[in-house]
Amino acid sequence: MAVVTGGNKGIGFEVVKQLAREGLTVVLTARDEQKGLLAAEKIKNEGLDVAFHPLDVLVKESISQLASWLKERYNGLDILV
């Protein structure tokens, strides 16, 4: 399972797609929840295994919320991009 920060656009978006195409479950994160959800839906529409979770890497609470969610839902993570 992989987490990609800033996965809603540019290089991050492409990394999410490529990892998912390789068969990984990928969590796309973004500061802007609406943009993140739209990006994840675009990738899901290709039949790929992608989830979204909001993340602002400059806010400790946001990081803690993601970490707790990942532990609960996926029992942690294997790759952080």
Number of domains observed in the structure of the chain: 1
Average pLDDT over residues 54-75: 97
3 state DSSP class of 4: strand
- Model confidence, pTM: 0.93
| pLDDT computed for residue 3 by the predictor | 98
The length of the chain, given as a count of residues: 81
| Per-residue pLDDT tens digits for 11-64 | 999 999 999 999 999 999 999 999 999 999 999 999 999 999 999 999 999 999
Residue 59's domain is classified under what CATH number?
3.40.50.720
Which residue intervals of the chain are DSSP H helices?
10-21, 33-44, 60-74
Domain hosting 7: range is 2-80
